[in-house]
Amino acid sequence: MSKAEDLKNLNNKWFEKCPCKLKKIATQPVPGYGNPQSKIVFIGEAPGKQEDLLGKPFVGAAGKFLDEMLESIKLKREDIYITNIVKYRPPNNRDPLPEEKVDCIGWLYEELNFIKPKLIIFLGRHSMTYFFPNESISQVHGKLLIKKIPNLPTKYFFALYHPAAALYNGGMRETLIADFKKIPKVIEKITK
């Protein structure tokens, strides 16, 4: 079986197994999308309205912005893997609750250990603070973070502001675009 098929089976298993209560009100789960051989995995927050309808992460306005930034470093969605810490849409796009993250975290761990990326990139504070509870995104964005975390396949992390938060905030948008452009150098550094 190919790695893509194995990943499909992994996700199908979690469609059944995930205990998240949002399952009852969401249209469908939104599993990760992209290249299962990727050395980079991006982790967002939770699906929004468009993602809930289409079953694919980052397909709304924030996703379009993300695609532009990927293009600026010569990457396409198909080159990387992108997922969310919570796999179901919270009602009215509210922030995911701590228990929703806990309920979906087994799924994320399994995805990460299946793909085995060299670099994990957090899109926003929700995924970042789950793994780095003492850090603030305004302090660590755009910096390579190195930490051994049990049961994760890499010790290299990079945090970015969330594209949806930065979309209509001029200063944050410029910072996110500049941080994004550091990614190739970060990859070079950790794969040397």
Minimum distance from residue 41 beta carbon to ligand URA (Å)? 13
* Closer by beta carbon to ligand URA, 51 or else 135: 51
What backbone phi and psi angles, to 5 degrees, belong to 43? -125, 115
Least distance CB 80 / ligand URA (angstroms): 14
Binding site for ligand URA (CB under 6 A): 44-48, 51, 57-58, 62, 84, 164
Which CB, 84 or 154, lies closer to ligand URA? 84
Closest approach, Cβ 189 to ligand URA, in A, equals: 26
β-bridge pairing 81-84 and 40-44 = parallel
Q: Where are the beta strands (DSSP E) in 45-106?
A: 81-84
Give buried/exposed letters for 30-65 (b at 16+ CB in 10 A, else e): bbbbbbbebbbbbbbbbbbebbbeeebbbbbebbeb
Residue of closest CB approach to ligand URA: 44
Task: Give the residue with the Cβ less far from ligand URA, 75 or 190.
Answer: 75
